[in-house]
Amino acid sequence: MKNYDAIYVDGQWIPSDGKKTLSVFDSTNEEVMATIPEGTASDVAKAAKAAKAAFVSWSTTPPATRAKYLTAISDALAARMDEISSAISRETGMSKMLSNMIQVGLPIGSFKQAAALAESFEFEKQVGTSLIVREPIGVVGCITPWNYPLHQIAAKVAFALASGCTVVLKPSEVAPIDAFMLAEIIHEAKLPAGVFNLVTGTGPVVGEAISASPDIDMISFTGSTRAGKLVMQTGSETVKKVALELGGKSANIICEDLDTETFAKAVMGGTGQAFLNSGQTCSLLSRMLVPRSRLAEAEGLAAAVAGGMKVGDPFAEGTNLGPLASAAQRDRVVSYINKGIEEGAKLIAGGPEAPEGLEKGYYVKATVFSEVNNKMTIAQEEIFGPVLVLIPYDGIDEAVDIANDSPYGLAGAVYAANQETGIAIARRIRTGQVTVNNGRFNPNAPFGGYKQSGIGRELGEYGFEEFLEVKSLQL
């Protein structure tokens, strides 16, 4: 077990004003793997003050110089990939192989992409008699989740720093170890004091203090819609800019015109994707919409995939499904599975019982329901676990209506016989991104949602622009 006994403020590791600590649990065995400071509002005040002071010089630092720092951070993350991904696998339950690629590989790319944007972005342009200038917004409070901890930190911190902003980071207390490792890397890279600050603690204390701080100009938050609403309310008192990446209940429309082989590929691929990171993914395709005439066919395919999922230690070879990140999350997911049974959904794979031989650790079976009505709780609320629902539809218009019948609008997918048809359907889905015919994830494309899935975009140029203000110089 490792004890992290300091927060990072103004270029130094200092003790928190709080005297309490928070325990970080190993999701594979339920044992304490680390402790971290339970930060206070006064810690946030110190960090925000340092970030505000550092903004004066960092915002005017040449973009090429900022890019060099970000590249150095990216390289140092790559050098510590195994150590960081191992910690995240223990915190979140993701298999070690996927943690290397996703939990650390994507953040390495984010820092490099942010560095490239800092150098290539056009911060000024002439519009008639005016010079339009894009300037960093100021101090950014970054509040990040536990499911993709370093990835979400990088999506905020890397692009904020690249734009010329300074940062106060509050990582999730469930999965904070990677944030300490990043702070160590940033310190070794000799980033100017105050440009990056780390305060750990709980949302109701540290998160709320960040949202309320008059020294913080913008909040970039990723988490539940419920928590996002609170961040927005608190931030409104000082009229902050608020960027929110929240929940999702994304629909995957499998079209009726697919041949047998392609239909099988679509259903089986969609089922496997629904269990990514043990279902702990906000953009998860957790509602599979299938033609009623082919529901039985889809049930057999989905059940086979779920039944073939190897649940177990994320460090063991061949593991497809590791544990959930916490006891609270496991209990929440199990309660949703029981709710689905109570509401009359047809359970075709998995169930609420712990996987055999895995009574210790936060494990849940890969679970699939069929004959689900879109008004059921398991079709409307974000479960955040390895639970897929099959919803039958009659005609593509009904499928689109079902897909859009959600308070969320983060992601979606369409699998059609040809790409043109798929694109036409995708245009009708009210979400921030739609995968057409198993298109690949693009880490430089804008990521964010419609409706209660959030405000603003992350990653790539669109994510970079979130941290910039627009000024007109009338000449």
pLDDT per position as a tens digit, 265-297: 999 999 999 999 999 999 999 999 999 999 999
Q: Determine the pLDDT at residue 1.
A: 80
Query: Tokens 């203000």 belong to which residue?
Result: 469
pTM score over 0.85: yes
pLDDT tens readout for residues 171-218: 999 999 999 999 999 999 999 999 999 999 999 999 999 999 999 999
Average pLDDT over residues 230-247: 96
Strand order in the sheet with 32-37: 2-3, 32-37, 21-25
pLDDT value at position 311? 94
Q: Which CATH superfamily is domain 251-443 in?
A: Aldehyde Dehydrogenase; Chain A, domain 2 (3.40.309.10)
pLDDT of residue 204: 96
Q: Would you kindly state where each structural domain of the chain is located, as residue ranges? A: 2-246+453-474, 251-443
Confidence band, pLDDT 50/70/90 cuts, at residue 352:
very high
Helix runs in 141-194, H state only: 149-163, 177-188
Residue 359 has pLDDT above 90, yes or no: no
pLDDT over 90 at 37, yes or no: yes
Asked if 378 contacts 274 with a C-beta cutoff of 8 angstroms, the reply is: no
Say if residue 376's pLDDT is above 90: yes
CATH code for the domain defined by 2-246+453-474:
3.40.605.10
SS3 state of residue 32: strand
- What is the chain's mean pLDDT, rounded? 96
* pLDDT of 347 strictly over 90: yes
Could you tell me if 329 and 362 are in contact, meaning their C-beta atoms sit under 8 angstroms apart? yes
Whether residue 84 is predicted with pLDDT greater than 90 in this model: the reply is yes
pLDDT at 348: 97
Q: How many helices (H) and strands (E) does the chain have?
A: 16, 23
Q: Give the mean model confidence (pLDDT) for residues 156-170.
A: 98
- Cα–Cα distances in Å, from 156 out to 30, 162, 168, 210, 317? 30, 10, 11, 15, 33
Average pLDDT over residues 391-409: 98
* Residue 367 pLDDT class (50, 70, 90 cuts): very high
Taking CA atoms, 295 is separated from 1, 337, 367, in Å, by 49, 20, 17
List the single range of 119-123, 154-158, 314-318, 445-449 with lowest mean pLDDT: 314-318
Average pLDDT, integer, range 75-102: 95
Catalytic residues: 245, 282
Closest CA to 390 of 466, 289, 254: 289
pLDDT score of 452 more than 90:
yes
Residue with tokens 């043109």: 420
Asked whether this chain's domains 2-246+453-474 and 251-443 adopt the same fold, the reply is no
Q: How would you label 316-342 residue by residue, b for 16+ Cβ within 10 Å and e otherwise? A: eeebbbbbbbbeebbeebbebbebbee
Q: Is 14 helix (H, G, I), strand (E, B) or coil?
A: strand
